[in-house]
Amino acid sequence: MRAAGSITDVAGVLVGHHHRIGDGWATGVTAVLPPPGTVGGVDVRGGGPGTRETDLLDPSNLVEHVDAVLLCGGSAYGLAAADGALRWLAERGRGFHVGAGDRAVVVPIVPAAVLFDLSVTGPGLVPDAGFGAAACAAATASGAGPSGLGGPQQGSAGAGAGAKAGRLKGGVGTASTVAAGYTVGALVAANPAGEVIDPATGLPWVAGDFGLATPDPVEVQAAAASPASAGPLNTTIGVVATDAALTKAQCRRLAMVAHDGLARAVRPAHTLFDGDTIFALATGRGPAAQPPVVNALCAAAADVFATAVVRGVLAATSVAGIPAYRDRYPSALPPAGASAGTNT
């Protein structure tokens, strides 16, 4: 199976970024807005997570539907961005409806996770509620960014603005594929403590057609000798989505298996310094998915998540002095007019 495309290939799923880069800032928020009635799940594997509303997604708990998922920079401070998303959605009548008449209220369900970029962005320069609202307002199904890739902007955007990936600049990546007749997509803010690029080769750990040539050995040697970026805390966070009809328990399984893709793409993964968290969304097209279909979707989720991690690193540009892949390994890049990080 070959992964290409974007999480927005799942019909009805929108993605929006809001970030600030420059004048000391290097952080942001990415919002994933699914269509009404989308079922959600989550799986947390990292040793230092920062999350909101993850308990609600437990299959034994009441609420099934998710109105948005926020991926945020700013560590624990960044969770404040979800307040802005909550208000933005409530103003549009989107959420869990409670009561009737003049006592009726709507409570948007906005699970969120954060990554650690406080060693990159300036002191106190962190996402707030305004970032969350702006990311939701910017959500769209298309809109290629400076990376030249289709779908949402990739690289140093949104939650990936201040991300690192081992020695290199991290960033937002996305991918999609088709399995068992359904679309499966992933969107990742790659900020791992581990490496996405094999220091011995200058190429991703994940095998695949990323449009890269074998880097010049001189570049590989110089990159391997470079010091790791400052700051021991990291975290990779992301979302997998499908248009299949899944239960909350099946969504959780989808998120669990997507972590296999993270482990393929990052070495080491799920460390005590990472808060690795993956959300799963199922928009519910067609009949209830049977076990063979769920297995196929889970396998696809791992593949697209791994691809999205690599794409996020390949599309990133240098921020705050953190070198990007294109800076360290220029000989690996495709000719002008072609795009690294794609699987086409």
Domain chopping of the chain, boundaries? 7-332
pLDDT of residue 340 exceeding 60: no
Only one residue has tokens 């795009």, namely 339
Q: Measured between alpha carbons, how far is residue 279 from residues 41, 204, 273, 322 in Å? A: 6, 24, 19, 28
pLDDT of residue 86 exceeding 50: yes
Neighbours of 95 (CB within 10 A): 20
pLDDT of residue 254 exceeding 70: yes
- pLDDT of 334: 83
Per-residue pLDDT averaged across 44-51, rounded?
Answer: 95
Local confidence band at 233 (pLDDT 50, 70, 90 cut-offs) = confident
Per-residue pLDDT averaged across 162-179, rounded?
Answer: 96
Single out the residue of 18, 11, 65 nearest to residue 248, CA to CA.
Answer: 65
Q: Are 210 and 173 in contact (CB under 8 A)?
A: no
- pLDDT of 113: 98
**For all residues of the chain together, what is the average pLDDT?**
92
Q: Which two tokens stand for residue 214?
A: 């074998």
Per-residue pLDDT averaged across 50-67, rounded?
Answer: 95
In the CATH scheme, what is the code of domain 7-332? 3.60.70.12
Local confidence band at 342 (pLDDT 50, 70, 90 cut-offs) = very low
What stretch of H or E contains 287?
Answer: strand 277-288
